[in-house]
Amino acid sequence: MPRQPRQSSASGYLHLIVRGIGRQALFEERADYQFFLSTLRRYARETGVAVCAYCLMENHVHLLVRDPEGLAPQLMKKLGVSYSAYFNKKYDRCGHLFQDRYRSEAVEDDAYLLTVFRYILNNPAKAGICPASAYAWNSYAQYDRPGSFVDTALLRELIGDRAQLDAFLADESGAVCMEFDRQDETWQRDLLRSILGTENGTVLQRMDRAARNEALCRLKAAGLTVRRIERLTGIGRNIIQRANES
């Protein structure tokens, strides 16, 4: 089936989402988040796409960008290739890291711009991690920081100072916006901790074959479907299905 063309934006503003293949983690430690942000900063400047907000979650990323020249596809391609190469080399893995193409939606008016901005910053709060203001990997701290690569000029005009930003983030009575159909990320961490003693299923990818298969068998014995194990670990279903055969 041919791919659907990207939705264009008359305003130039876009909400972009990318996630790990099979919902696997994109970030294992602090250095990974830092590398992703430095790469985003580099290619945003190189392409001229302005980043207005971001939030890096464990297995997906939200971006709000201003892209009047239509160069967001170049930004996302450069970002994806660079980060995938970094991650695969560091963690001794191969193959695709990101799930399909990134998702995008046009943001055509100020009201929806504010809705998307609030949704992106509040992602960690929705996942039960912490408030937006306490999360290290969203752009909350960049809202009014001099010299930041994050362009919040229009948002500051619409919202006001930081106190007004906090009040704005606390009020979620407005419209909803594009998101993934996913369960709360705390569910994933709690489930893996209870069965395997770890919060990150992708660690199975770096185990030797015997240890990996033993862990997969424990997940299956706990009643998890092959599809769910695939999502939690990023390991292909054929390997999961054959785990108890060796």
pLDDT of the residue at 193 = 79
Same domain, 121 and 219: no
Same domain, 52 and 98: yes
pLDDT of the residue at 182 = 45
Same domain, 154 and 202: no
**Nearest-angstrom CA–CA distance, 93 and 79:** 18
pLDDT of the residue at 94 = 83
Q: Is residue 159 part of a domain?
A: yes
Same domain, 137 and 209: no
Same domain, 161 and 194: no
Confirm if 97 and 87 have CB atoms less than 8 A apart: yes
Same domain, 98 and 189: no
Same domain, 91 and 203: no
pLDDT of the residue at 36 = 98
Number of domains in the chain: 2
Phi-psi region at 30: left, alpha or beta (left = phi > 0; alpha = psi -120 to 50): alpha
- Range(s) of the domain holding residue 190: 185-245
- The helix or strand, by DSSP H or E, that contains position 84, with its residue range, turns out to be helix 72-90
Hey, which residues does 61 pair with through a beta bridge? 18, 56
pLDDT of the residue at 124 = 93
pLDDT of the residue at 3 = 47
Between the alpha carbon of residue 31 and those of residues 26, 90, 97, 137, 222, the distances in Å are 12, 11, 17, 11, 33
pLDDT of the residue at 188 = 63
pLDDT of the residue at 86 = 95
Q: Is residue 175 part of a domain?
A: no
Please report, for the domain that includes residue 151, its CATH number.
3.30.70.1290
Which residue numbers in the chain have pLDDT < 70? Answer: 1-8, 173-191, 223, 227, 231, 245-246
Same domain, 158 and 53: yes
pLDDT of the residue at 184 = 46
Hey, which residues does 14 pair with through a beta bridge? 65, 106
Judge if pTM exceeds 0.85: no
Last residue of one domain, picked from the residues 170, 193, 209: 170
Confirm if 84 and 196 have CB atoms less than 8 A apart: no
pLDDT of the residue at 177 = 64
pLDDT of the residue at 232 = 75
Backbone angles phi, psi at 67, to 5 degrees: -135, 70
Last residue of one domain, picked from the residues 107, 140, 170: 170
